[in-house]
C-alpha cells in the first residue's frame, strides 16, 4: 500500500501535487466565468478560487491520511471499512468547509471595512443556500472519485493476492512432493515396517495428515493458529523419527485463541531452517517458536552446511509478499552470527 501511495496523484509532500490543485481550482473558476459570461478576475471568482483551493487541499490531505493506512485486506471487509471511513470523511469535510467558508467571508468583510456583527446574518440569509448546494455537490463528486480510487486499489490488491497465493500453493506442493522428501519418507517408512510396525503405522498416519492439511488449506487466506501449530508438530514428527536427537523443536506459545495465520507459513520457515543448517547429535539444530507481541518468531541456531544447497530465496520472497498483501505488515528477518529469526505477523 505504501508503494501505491507513492505513485498516486495524492502526494501532499510534493510541489507537483500543489501545482495540480492550483491548476484544477483555476480551471473550475475559468469554466464558471465562461458559463456566466463574467470577468475571470472579478472579486467573486477570486474568492471562489481561494475557497476551492483551500478546501481541496484539506480534503485530499484528509483523504490520504484516512485511507493510506488501510490494512491489506480485500473484498467485502475492505469495502465495509472504506464505506465507514468515507462517512467520517464526508462529515469532517462538511464541518471543515463551513469553517473555511466562514473565515474567508469574514476576511472579505474586514477587507471591505464592514462590521463582523453582520457576518452571520449575511451567511444565513444570503449565502447559506448556495453554499449548501455547492459544497454538497463538490463533496459528493470528490467522495465518489476517492471511493473509486480506494475500491480499485483494493481490487488490484485482491487480484495480486490471488496471484501470490497461486505461486505459493505451487511452490508449497513442489517443496513437499519432491523426490528428496518422498524418498526420505518412504525410505524411513520401509525400514520401520520391518523393525517397528507400530511406529510405521504412526508414521504413515502423520504423513497422510500432512498432505491432507496442505491440500485442504494451502488455498485458504488464513487458518487458525492452533491448526497450523498442530500441522507443524505432525510435520516435525517425521523429521524427528529420521533425525532422532539431531533436531529439536520448542514451541512456546501459551495462547492461540482468536489468532489466525497464513496457512503453511510456519512450515516453510522450519523447512528453511532444516534445509540450510547441518544437525548432529553433538550439535543439534534448535528451532524455537515463540509469541512476540502480535507475531510468531521462528528462530534457529546457525550451523551452516559445508556445501549449501542452491537457493534463490523464492520461498521467503513469496511469503513476504503474501504477508504484505494479506496484513499490510512486513515479514521481519533478523540474521546475525548466531541465530536466524523470521517474525511473521498474526491476524485476529
pLDDT tens digits along 230-245? 999 988 888 888 777 7
Tell whether 34 and 137 lie within a shared domain: yes
> Residue 58: what pLDDT?
77
Closest CA to 156 of 261, 78, 217: 78
Q: 109, 141, 165: which is the final residue of a domain?
A: 165
Which band of pLDDT confidence, cut at 50, 70 and 90, is reported for residue 4?
very low
Classify residue 272 as left (phi > 0), alpha (psi -120 to 50) or beta: alpha
Q: Is the dihedral of CA 227, 231, 236, 237 positive or negative?
A: positive
In a domain, 195, yes or no: no
Edge-first strand order for the sheet with 247-252 is 247-252, 285-292, 295-301, 339-345, 332-335
Q: Which of 130-134, 241-245, 309-313, 337-341 has the lowest mean pLDDT?
A: 309-313
Q: Do 158 and 240 sit in the same domain of this protein?
A: no
7 pLDDT tier (thresholds 50, 70, 90): very low
Q: Look at residue 1 in the predicted model and tell me its pLDDT.
A: 34
Domain-terminating residue out of 112, 145, 165? 165
Which residue has better confidence, 229 or 73?
Answer: 229
Q: Does 9 score more than 50 pLDDT?
A: no
d(CA 114, CA 168): 70
pLDDT single digits (tens) 136-165 = 777 776 667 666 766 777 677 777 766 666
Last residue of a domain, one of 165, 189, 220: 165
Residue-wise pLDDT for 33-83, tens only, equals 777 777 767 777 677 777 777 777 777 777 767 665 554 444 456 667 767
What pLDDT score was predicted for residue 314?
63
Q: Is residue 201 part of a domain?
A: no
Number of domains present in the structure of the chain:
2
Same-domain check for residues 8 and 110: yes
- Secondary structure class of 116 (helix, strand, coil): helix
Confidence band, pLDDT 50/70/90 cuts, at residue 11: low
The CA distance from 11 to 104, in Å, is: 25
State whether 221 and 315 are in the same domain: yes
Decide if 193 is inside a domain: no
Domain-located, residue 185: no
**Cβ(260)–Cβ(348) below 8 Å:** yes
Same domain, residue pair 34 and 156: yes
Q: Can you tell me the distance from the alpha carbon of 232 to that of 121, in angstroms, rounded to the nearest whole number? A: 72
Q: Are 107 and 221 members of one domain?
A: no
User: Grid coordinates 495465520 are at which residue?
Assistant: 261
Torsion of CA 68, 70, 74, 77, to 10 degrees: -140
Is 289 inside any structural domain?
yes
Q: Are 343 and 296 in contact (CB under 8 A)?
A: yes
| CATH at residue 215 | 3.30.565.10
**What secondary structure letter does DSSP report for 286?**
E
**Residue range 319-323: mean pLDDT, rounded:** 81
> Structural domain of residue 55, as residue ranges?
2-165
- List strand residue ranges (DSSP E) for the chain, in order: 223-224, 247-252, 260-261, 285-292, 295-301, 332-335, 339-345
Are residue 218 and residue 130 in the same domain, yes or no? no
- Element housing 279 (H / E): none
Question: What digits encode the pLDDT tens for the residues 262-312?
Answer: 888 898 898 888 888 888 888 899 999 999 888 999 999 998 877 655 554
More confident residue, 195 or 18: 195
Tally of CB atoms within 10 A around 78: 20
Instruction: Write down the pLDDT at residue 169.
Output: 57
Task: Kindly report, residue by residue over 76-112, the tens digit of the pLDDT.
Answer: 566 677 677 778 877 888 888 888 888 888 888 888 7
Amino acid at each position: 500500500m505504501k508503494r501505491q501511495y507513492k505513485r498516486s496523484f495524492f502526494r501532499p509532500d510534493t510541489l507537483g501535487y500543489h501545482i495540480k490543485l492550483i491548476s484544477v481550482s483555476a480551471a473550475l473558476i475559468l469554466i464558471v466565468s465562461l458559463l456566466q459570461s463574467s470577468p475571470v478576475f472579478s472579486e467573486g471568482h477570486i474568492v471562489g478560487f481561494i475557497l476551492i483551493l483551500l478546501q481541496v487541499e484539506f480534503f485530499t490531505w484528509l483523504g490520504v491520511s484516512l485511507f493510506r493506512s488501510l490494512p491489506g485486506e480485500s473484498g467485502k471487509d475492505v469495502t465495509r471499512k472504506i464505506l465507514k471511513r468515507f462517512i467520517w470523511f464526508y462529515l469532517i469535510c462538511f464541518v471543515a468547509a463551513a469553517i473555511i467558508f466562514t473565515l474567508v467571508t469574514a476576511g472579505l468583510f474586514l477587507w471591505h471595512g464592514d462590521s463582523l456583527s453582520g457576518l452571520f446574518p449575511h451567511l444565513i440569509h444570503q449565502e447559506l443556500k448556495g453554499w449548501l448546494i455547492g459544497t454538497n455537490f463538490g463533496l459528493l463528486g470528490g467522495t465518489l472519485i476517492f471511493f473509486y480510487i480506494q475500491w480499485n486499489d483494493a481490487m488490484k490488491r485482491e487480484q495480486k493476492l490471488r496471484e501470490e497465493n497461486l505461486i505459493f500453493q505451487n511452490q508449497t506442493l513442489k517443496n513437499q512432493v519432491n523426490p528428496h522428501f518422498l524418498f526420505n519418507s518412504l525410505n524411513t517408512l520401509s525400514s520401520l515396517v520391518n523393525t517397528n510396525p507400530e511406529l510405521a503405522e504412526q508414521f504413515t498416519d502423520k504423513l497422510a495428515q500432512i498432505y491432507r492439511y496442505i491440500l485442504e488449506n494451502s488455498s485458504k487466506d488464513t487458518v487458525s493458529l492452533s491448526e497450523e501449530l498442530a500441522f507443524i508438530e505432525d510435520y516435525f514428527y517425521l523429521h524427528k523419527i529420521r533425525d532422532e536427537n539431531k533436531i529439536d523443536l520448542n514451541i512456546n506459545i501459551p495462547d492461540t485463541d482468536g489468532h489466525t495465520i497464513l496457512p503453511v507459513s510456519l512450515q516453510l520457515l522450519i523447512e528453511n531452517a532444516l534445509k540450510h543448517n547441518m544437525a548432529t547429535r553433538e550439535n543439534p539444530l534448535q528451532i524455537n517458536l515463540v509469541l512476540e507481541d502480535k507475531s510468531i518468531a521462528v528462530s534457529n541456531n546457525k550451523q551452516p552446511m559445508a556445501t549449501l544447497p542452491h537457493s534463490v530465496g523464492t520461498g521467503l520472497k513469496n511469503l513476504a509478499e503474501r504477508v504484505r498483501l494479506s496484513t499490510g505488515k512486513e515479514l521481519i528477518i533478523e540474521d546475525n552470527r548466531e541465530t536466524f529469526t523470521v517474525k511473521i505477523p498474526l491476524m485476529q
